[in-house]
Amino acid sequence: MSSSGATGVAAAPLLDLHPDPADMRQLVVEGLSRSPKQLPAWFLYDAEGSRLFDLICQQPEYTLTATETALLEREAPAIAAALGPGTLVEFGAGSARKVAPLLQALAQPAYVALDISAEHLEAACTRLQGQFPDVPILGVCCDYSQLDALPEHPLLSGTAHLGFFPGSSLGNFEPAAARTLLAQFRRLLGPGGKLLIGIDQPKAVERLEAAYNDEAGVSAAFALNLLRRLNRDLAGHFDLEAFAYRAIWKPEQSQIEMALVSQRDQQVELAGQVWAFEAGEALITETSAKYSPAAFLELAGSAGWKGAERWSDPADDLSLHLLVQAD
């Protein structure tokens, strides 16, 4: 599973449970039939989308990644002590760069990375295995929000499951869906499972909107890549120049809404159907809700969790919450 030294490091194994094109086609039909039109956020993360998201995280306006990474590095010993022994299961691992401080701090770490992009996941696990050659590592390509159970594997049997969900990714889910996801994590992690989750907090509107509409245009390229993917994978005929990117703060929902806005009346063929877009109509690509610590713990409580510990950056922009299962 892993080698015992820095030389001859074995590649981390990868299980491929990616949804097939038929599943994607059905989700497209459901999403474009909604008002407003909205597709699952994981559609954004093909190989190119994952690469662009990594670039977003490096933009000066997007401080979440740097803030959370610094917090993990500073508090890793305390977090590891609070987590205790077990296998670390990261939901939506992406480039898997934030987990390194935890793998360094845990006594006998094992790591399972779940992500939707197989190519990105394989590269991340290979890099991480080289960095930690003695740590057993497994990659699972899947839509973690749709898993009925964690896959059967030696790393996931006979040990406690310690969930890791950084990046404030919970904000990509509407409140009801976020509650459902937290409840699902509770089931997936099983009795005694814990969850370490990163939550971005409300702040000045100007900072929030700039974070999701960087001056370099990487966020816009990330959103438009969704249309490229739909054209490629589902025989779409989107004209990318007929859509413009928009990111705005919605105070009533305490969330940023990211969308591609149709620049004219048009019809687009996709997934075997023709879809009409009016001028000014938005296709929502993603939302990012921001929770105060109290609001988040209330949401977590409704899904069967309770707060055990909380760590925050000096400016109190972001929280890492350790959740344990409520009795």
Average pLDDT, the chain: 93
Give 168-183 pLDDT, tens digit per residue. Answer: 999 999 999 999 999 9
Q: How many alpha carbons fall within 13 Å on the CB side of residue 106?
A: 21
Tokens of 247: 């990111």
At 5 the pLDDT is: 37
| Percent of the chain with pLDDT strictly greater than 70 | 96
83 alpha-carbon distance from chain centroid: 21
Task: Taking residues 286-297, report their average pLDDT.
Answer: 97
Domain ranges of the chain: 21-49+205-289, 59-203+291-325
Asked whether the predicted pLDDT for residue 15 surpasses 70, the reply is yes
At 6 the pLDDT is: 38
Give 226-264 pLDDT, tens digit per residue. Answer: 999 999 999 999 999 999 999 999 999 999 999 999 999
Give 133-145 pLDDT, tens digit per residue. Answer: 999 999 999 989 8
Task: Taking residues 278-301, report their average pLDDT.
Answer: 98
Would you place residue 208 in the very low, low, confident or very high pLDDT band (cuts 50, 70, 90)? very high
At 10 the pLDDT is: 61
Map tokens 């971005």 to a residue.
200
The single-letter code of the amino acid at 25 is R
In this structure, are residues 89 and 186 in contact, taking their beta carbons and an 8 Å threshold? no
Beta-carbon contacts of 137 under 8 Å, excluding residues fewer than 6 positions away, are 1, 2, 12, 110, 111, 112, 113, 125, 128, 129
Assign domain 59-203+291-325 to its CATH superfamily. Answer: Vaccinia Virus protein VP39 (3.40.50.150)
In this structure, are residues 88 and 111 in contact, taking their beta carbons and an 8 Å threshold? yes
Task: Taking residues 17-34, report their average pLDDT.
Answer: 88
In this structure, are residues 181 and 170 in contact, taking their beta carbons and an 8 Å threshold? yes
pTM flag (> 0.75) = yes
Would you place residue 4 in the very low, low, confident or very high pLDDT band (cuts 50, 70, 90)? very low
Asked whether the predicted pLDDT for residue 221 surpasses 50, the reply is yes
At 119 the pLDDT is: 87
Strand partners, 16: 141
Top pLDDT among 117 and 318 is at 318
Task: Taking residues 81-104, report their average pLDDT.
Answer: 95
C-alpha separations of 205 from 67, 111, 209 in Å: 18, 37, 6
Residues counted in the chain = 327
Task: Taking residues 110-126, report their average pLDDT.
Answer: 92
